[in-house]
Structure 1
Amino acid sequence: MSETVLEKALVVAEACADAARETVIPHFRTSLQADAKSDDSPVTVADRAAEKVMRSILEDALPEHAILGEESGMSGHEGDWLWVLDPIDGTRAFLTGRPTFGTLISLFHKGRPVLGLIDQPLTGERWIGLAGQRTRFVSARLPGQIGTRICPVLGQAELSCTSPEIMTPNHAPRFASLQKQVRRTSWGGDCYAYGLLALGQIDVIAECTMNPWDWGALVPVIEGAGGSITDWQGKPLTLESDGTVLACGNPALLTDIVNHLSHPGTMG
């Protein structure tokens, strides 16, 4: 897999992000109605329309690639290449008028994400990760420089998670164990928090019940910024992963973090 292949795919991914941005913005802070999906998470006409327009671009440009979208499932022929789409990651934030949602676009090659794009339509921020390359941050208005913060010890770390409600009874005490070791915990952010980790503003993010469309785009972005992103056992994320996601700005802290997540209440 050459850099040329990824750069060509990136042109298509950015076209998808641009189209999704134009589709989503007109719906922001309107009296939008949400339907509940089978997992009780909300979905809106904006989610569906944004995924539809991205699928259309991908089907025209790369008809040999398969597509997996949060709203419309799998389409196309099985093969080495799979696009994974989340048109609005953070629909709850979107519905309540908070600009911390984002569009996630990723390209998997043989089960591994090799291209990831996080786009925040309202702020105009975009994070682009390509396997083996330094992450790029594009922003016309807001400052930011790619590079995770090398937090020296866990006791100085800023921990983040989208919501305590995503924690299952099994995961909640393990997360609480980690919380006791860090400087403080902030809630909210969805995919935007991972962009902030890539900019050195957050040190650790631990979440669970995540699907491939939730984390696929994050992997190249975090790794290309100098961080690590794994499951809670420290293993690489795959399409068969258990839904836990652990992003760490300083990979040297990974073993310590995994120990706290694995043994709630026993680590001092």
Structure 2
Amino acid sequence: MTFDAEIALAQRLADAARAEIVPLFRTGIGSERKEDRSPVTEADRAAEVAMRRLIKAEFPRDAVHGEEFGAEPGTSGRTWVLDPVDGTTAFMAGRPIFGTLIALVVEGWPVLGLIDQPVLQERWLGATGQPTTFNGKPVSTRACRSLADAAIATTGPHYFDDHDGAHFMGLAAKTDHKRMVMGGDCYNYAMLAMGQLDIVCEANLKLHDYAALIPVVEGAGGMMCDWNGDPLHAASDGRVLALGDPARLEDVVAALACNH
């Protein structure tokens, strides 16, 4: 099954989000706190509104699940999952390592994913059965001979509770942790898909945080799973692993299982 029309729409959605986000970048716009205390800005909301408008015009039967405006039901068994600014904190700090995330989920499984960095005009696209592209050209993950050689990334220690943080540090201790990357949100997964990182490990992610990442990473030759090594889907628990080299899966899962 091909997704040509859906890919074309995803590209237009990313363009529409860029048009809302870029003019507000580094302008000092204010933010509010949501119920979970995470920040939200005018850029988040305007970009999601623009994307929802396009989806409803083109695929009115599809459901939409967005970070800022919640779930809008559909009748097709398909859901567009949107995170207009993944990495709002980075956006507010003027750091161009946030991204717009767009995914198409069919019966709970992501089949199309797009990561867009609007300021740098960088775009990664992945879809089932197709190689992942970066600005239209195929990219691939890199081989990793051993866990000790692996460069690991995570958005930040404050996203782990004490229990999960101990397991993460157990994994990090077995990697080349002098190259550990902190910060990055979705941008870390894009870098993994391009062969710049080997492992991304996170917890407490929601569907809009990870759905778009899966087709991008897997279409580049990597894999994404939960901390047990099971495939990610709409009901996963938010503990997320991305591996550039799937051969390291057993090593990573075993290292995570050790409680330090």
Q: Which whole-Å CA distance do the structure 2 matches of 1:243 and 1:13 have between them?
A: 24
Q: Which whole-Å CA distance do the structure 2 matches of 1:235 and 1:201 have between them?
A: 24
1:145–1:199 Cα contact (<8 Å) kept: no
Segments of 4+ in structure 1 off by > 3 A? Answer: none
| Aligned twin of 1:223 | 218
Identical positions, percent: 45
CA 205–14 in structure 1, closer or farther in 2 if over 3 Å, else same: same
Pair 1:110-2:107 in alignment: yes
Q: Which whole-Å CA distance do the structure 1 matches of 2:112 and 2:161 have between them?
A: 30
Report the AA paired with residue 187 of structure 2: Y
TM (norm. structure 2) is: 0.97
Runs (5+) with no aligned partner, structure 1: none
Report the AA paired with residue 8 of structure 1: A
Report the AA paired with residue 237 of structure 2: D
* Aligned-pair CA distance for 1:177: 0.2
1:172 pairs with 158, 161, 165, which one?
Answer: 165
| Aligned twin of 1:128 | 125
* Aligned-pair CA distance for 1:58: 0.2
Report the AA paired with residue 215 of structure 1: Y
Q: CA RMSD in A?
A: 1.1
| Aligned twin of 2:96 | 99
Q: Which whole-Å CA distance do the structure 2 matches of 1:149 and 1:93 have between them?
A: 27
| Aligned twin of 2:33 | 36
* Aligned-pair CA distance for 1:78: 4.3
* Aligned-pair CA distance for 1:76: 3.2
* Aligned-pair CA distance for 1:170: 1.5
1:148 pairs with 134, 141, 145, which one?
Answer: 141
CA 145–238 in structure 1, closer or farther in 2 if over 3 Å, else same: closer
Report the AA paired with residue 27 of structure 1: L
* Aligned-pair CA distance for 1:255: 0.9
| Aligned twin of 1:204 | 199
Question: What secondary structure does 1:88 align onto?
Answer: strand
* Aligned-pair CA distance for 1:169: 1.4
| Aligned twin of 1:61 | 58
1:176–1:264 Cα contact (<8 Å) kept: no
* Aligned-pair CA distance for 1:117: 0.2
| Aligned twin of 2:150 | 157
Runs (5+) with no aligned partner, structure 2: none
Q: Which whole-Å CA distance do the structure 2 matches of 1:31 and 1:203 have between them?
A: 34
| Aligned twin of 1:73 | 70
